[in-house]
Copies of this chain bind each other. A is one copy, B any other.
Amino acid sequence: MDMKTDLGRGLLLKNPVMLASGTAAFGMEFEDFYPLEKLGALVTKGVSIDPIEGNPTPRIVETSGGMINSIGLQNPGARVFVEELLPQIRKHDFACVVNVFGYSDEGYKKVVEFLERSEGIDGYEVNISCPNVKHGGIQYGTNPEMTHRLVRELRSRTNRHLMVKLSPNVTDIMEFATACEEAGADSISLVNTLLGMAVDIETRRPKIARVVGGYSGPSIKPVALRMVYQVAKCVSIPVIGIGGIQSVKDALEFLLVGATAIQVGTANFYDPGIGGRLADELIQWLNRHGIDSLDDWIGSLEV
């Protein structure tokens, strides 16, 4: 069974299973659960040029069928990433996509320029959609012109694969996808978290310190699937499906509506073995259904 999937500009994955940014840290913790080589790719926790402390706790709360987080992009900064974490990641044979983040065009450019100097990075995922940062960040993902400008700037700075991660908190996701494609993105990943909120009626207080946070998990799958379907129809670059994937069935659904690869997010927390298992189960399922290659499955929805 040919499970290889080509995201373009040299990012050829051995299979379509990726771990989503912020739900797998820098990968190492999963070694206890399966050989990391099973993965198509790991997307790192978001990396910014300078370290970020993140938001106060509580940062996480479970809701019906999902969770809300407000981590606030805590990360050790690009230097520590390159010096201490990247060498660890590079011991393993899978594609390493670095999720990057800045508070301004300047911030994004800086982190990409800095990372360009290091070997062993297979591509960038540009997070223009994180809802958890107070000053800046969010407006990129909700403004198509800013998105276009930023992607063009980054495109001119790297020959590595450039994936742009979209926010679902917009009226028209296709507008953003088109802006990214036109500005030179190699692929589009979606969705990031929905903006959500939870409150405690006993204490009369919000359940997370920053009041509003990012909603993820099985509950967001219908919305994510719809957006991936819409985007896959309207752009010609590869689309990576994210949102509530917790089983091989879920992964197959995203691939069916047109995703070239998928990312597992929240499910890593409650089922840390899922990444390795999905890689196997996809092959088994396609085999059992007489489908010869992953490519035959991708986008084969009949409407």
What is the interface of chain A, defined by CB distance below 8 A to chain B? 63-66, 68, 142, 169-172, 194-199, 201, 204-206, 211-212, 215, 218-223, 225-226, 229, 244, 249, 252-253, 256-257, 300-303
Q: Can you list 26 A-B contacts with CB-CB less than 8 angstroms, sorted by A residue number? A: A63-B221, A64-B65, A64-B221, A66-B222, A142-B172, A169-B171, A194-B223, A196-B222, A196-B225, A197-B226, A197-B257, A198-B253, A199-B225, A199-B253, A204-B256, A204-B301, A205-B301, A205-B303, A206-B301, A206-B303, A211-B229, A211-B303, A212-B229, A215-B222, A215-B223, A219-B222
Known: A204-B256, A204-B301, A204-B302. A229 touches B197 (CB 8 A): yes
Cα–Cα distance between A197 and B168 once the two chains are bound (Å): 14
Inter-subunit contact A300/B256 (CB<8 Å): no
Contacts of A205 in B (CB 8 A): 301-303
Contact A64 B219 (CB under 8 A): yes
Q: Across the interface, which residues of B come within 8 angstroms of A253, CB to CB? A: 198-199, 201
Are B198 and A225 neighbours in the complex by a CB distance under 8 Å? yes
Consensus secondary structure, chain A interface = mixed
A64 touches B211 (CB 8 A): no
Given A196-B226, A223-B196, A225-B196, does the pair A252, B201 have CB atoms closer than 8 Å?
A: yes
Task: List B contacts of A66 (CB < 8 A).
Answer: 65, 219, 222
A257 CB contact (under 8 Å) in B171, B199, B221, B225: B199
- Please, which residues of chain B bring their CB within 8 A of the CB of A244? 64
Give chain B residues whose Cβ lies under 8 Å from the Cβ of A194. 222-223
Which chain B residues border A68 with CB–CB below 8 Å? 222
Q: Report if A201-B256 is in contact (Cβ < 8 Å); known contacts: A63-B222, A64-B221.
A: yes
Q: How far is the CB of A162 from chain B (nearest CB, A)?
A: 24
Query: Chain B residues near A198 (CB, 8 Å)?
Result: 222, 225, 253
CA distance A167 to B54 in the complex (A): 32
Seed contacts A142-B171, A196-B226; 8 additional CB < 8 Å A-B pairs: A64-B219, A64-B221, A194-B223, A197-B229, A199-B301, A201-B253, A211-B229, A219-B222
Chain B residues near A197: list those with CB within 8 A. Answer: 222, 225-226, 229, 257
